Amino acid sequence: MRRRTLSRLSVAAVSLGLLAALAPSAGAAPGTAPAPDRGHERGHDRAPDHGHAAKPAYKRVGYFTQWGVYGRNFQVKDLDTSGTAAKLSHVNYAFGNIGADGRCFTGNVPGEADAWADYVRPLDAAGSVDGVADTPDQPLAGNFNQLRELKAKHPGLKVMISLGGWSWSTHFSDAARTPASRKALVASCIDLYIKGNLPADGARGGAGAAAGLFDGIDIDWEWPGSAGDTDTVFRPEDKQNFTALVREFRTQLDAYARSQKKHGRYELSAFVPTAPAKIDAGFEVRKIMRDLDFVNLQGYDFHGSWESTTAQQSALFAPEGDFSVDQTVNDWLRRGAPARKLVVGMPFYGQGWTGVTGGGDGLGRPATGAAPGTWAAGSEDYKALKKLAEEGRFTVHRDRSNGHAWLFDGTTLWTYDDPKVLRAKSAYVRGRGLGGAMFWSLDGDTPDGELITAVNGVLGNRG
C-alpha cells in the first residue's frame, strides 16, 4: 500500500529544521492498531500578517476531560494558571452522551452522564478561574461555569462540546438511521448545549443556563461503519448516514445562528481515524468536508499494549505498511480532504509494555503485557513519563528519520511524544499547509504546560 507522496524528511526539515534535533535510533515494526479510546480533532480565527491580507490562524485544539477533575484533580482553572488557555484556539469538552432514545442527554447516571461535574459542583474562590466562589443559587456551576469564566478571561478561546468518544458512541448508528431520527438527535444536542437548556438539578440548570458557552459541536463517533467499543452498534449504511448527520448538524446550527443574528457561525468538527479501512468504511470524505469546519485526525494509538510486540504509538513517519501521522494525512488528502481542514492529533500520554525481552533499545521486541500506569495499565500521562526520564532509570531513545521517542529501562518501554517530537510534528503541519494540532488530553501535560508551549512555539501564528 502506498503511504506517502513526499520524502520523510523534506517537509519537516524545510519547515524549521526541527527533525535534526532528534538523535537517531532504531525504527518501528509494522503492525495494526484498534480504534483508540480518545476524544478525540474552523476557519474564522485570524492572525496579523505584517500588513498583508490576514490568514487563518493554526488551530490548537485541546480536549478537557469531564472526569479529570476527580482523581487527576485537573481543573479548568489549571488551563489558566499553566498558561495553556492563552495558547489554545479551542477547548473540546469530553464528552456528551447520546441515549438509547437517540437524543443528547445529561444527568447523574454512573458511567453514562455526570451533571455534577458538568454544571452542579460548586467551586470555591481558590478553585475558580475568576477567584470568586460559586453561590448556592447560581444556575450554572461546575466545569461549565469555569469554562465560561475562562472564555471571559481569554476572549479568543472557543469551547466545543464533543459528543461520543470511544465509550459513548454506543447509540450513534441507531440515532443516525433515518431523516427523522437525525433531526431529533441534532435538535436535542443543540437544545442542550448550544441553547443551554440544562435539566434542573436543585438551583442548577434550567432554560438557557448554559446559553452562549459552547461555540460549536465536535462529533466523536467511533466508528461509523466499523467496530469500536464492544457495545457500539455499527452498520454498512453508517457511511451514508454519517454524511447525512453532518449535513443535519450544519443545517440546524446555521439556522439557529441566523435566528439569533449571530456574528459568524457555530463550528462543526469531527474526530476521524487513521486506518484506511476505517476511513473507507465510514466516511464519504469529499461530502463531509463541505460541511465540517475541520477534522481532528487520530495521530496516536497506532500501537499499544493490546499487542504482544513493542512499537511506536504516534510516529511522524513509519515504514511502508505501518501507521503514522504522515500516512494518516496522506490518506485523508488522497480521498479529497482539504489540507487546511486537517488538524493533526498529538498525544499528551504514552503507551507502554512490560516484560520486554530481546535486549537492544526495546523497540520491536516481545513483551508480556501492559506496563503499570497511574490510571490505567498500558497508559501514562506525559508528566509522569517525564519524571521517569529525569530519574535516570529509563533511557530516552529517539528515531530521527521517523520522528518519535520512547523510554526503556531494560524491561519496561513507553512510547510517547516529548517537546522535541511535538516541535517536529508542528513543523510538519506548517510544511504541509495543514490546519493545526489537536491534543488528547490536556491533563497529561506538565503544570507549566511544557507540551502545549512546544507546539505553540511553532504554530502560535501563521506566516
Q: Which residues are catalytic?
A: 222
Distances (CA, A) of 392 to 345, 397, 416, 421: 29, 13, 17, 20
- 295: closest CA among 324, 279, 271? 271
Give, rounded to a whole angstrom, the gap between the first and last alpha carbons of the chain: 35
Contact 396, 429 (CB under 8 A): no
Sign, CA dihedral 435-441-446-447, equals: positive
Distances (CA, A) of 179 to 241, 248, 249, 287: 9, 9, 12, 17
- 299: closest CA among 388, 422, 447? 422
Which residues lie across from 353 on neighbouring strands? Answer: 370, 413
Question: What interhelical angle do 179-189 and 238-259 show, nearest 10?
Answer: 50
Q: Which residue reads 535510533 in cell numbers? A: 25
Contact 242, 176 (CB under 8 A): yes
Q: Which residue reads 504541509 in cell numbers? A: 432
Q: What are phi and psi of 366, to 5 degrees?
A: -70, 150
User: What is the rounded distance in angstroms from the CA atom of residue 427 to the CA atom of residue 378?
Assistant: 29
Per-residue cell: 29: 515494526
Q: Residues 6 or more apart from 401 whose CB is under 8 A from it?
A: 8, 9, 24, 27, 317
Contact 22, 438 (CB under 8 A): no
Which residues lie across from 56 on neighbouring strands? Answer: 46
DSSP structure string for 204-258: EEETTTTTTT--EEEEEES-TTS--STT----TTHHHHHHHHHHHHHHHHHHHHH
Strands 90-98, 158-165: pairing is: parallel
